[in-house]
Amino acid sequence: MAKCPKCNKNVYFAEKVTSLGKDWHRPCLKCEKCGKTLNPGSHAEHDGKPYCNNPCYTALFGPGGFGRGGTESHKY
Ligand SMILES: [Zn+2]
Ligand SMILES: [Zn+2]
Preceding peptide of 27 cis, ω within 30°: no
Task: Give per-residue pLDDT as tens, 20-42.
Answer: 999 999 999 999 999 999 999 89
Q: What confidence score (pLDDT) does residue 30 get?
A: 97
Ligand located closest to 4 CA:
1
Q: Which CATH number fits domain 13-61: 3.40.50.10800, 2.10.110.10, 3.30.470.20, 1.10.3720.10?
A: 2.10.110.10
Strand partners for 37? 30
CA distance 33 to 23: 20
Residue by residue, DSSP assigns 33-61 as TT--B--TTSSEEETTEEE-IIIIIHHHH
Calculate how far, in angstroms, residue 16's C-alpha sits from the geometric centre of ligand 2.
21
Calculate how far, in angstroms, residue 21's C-alpha sits from the geometric centre of ligand 2.
20
Residues 16 and 24: beta-carbon distance below 8 Å? yes
In the predicted model, what is the mean pLDDT of the chain?
A: 87
Ligand located closest to 50 CA:
2
Ligand located closest to 56 CA:
2
What percent of the chain lies above the pLDDT cut of 70?
83
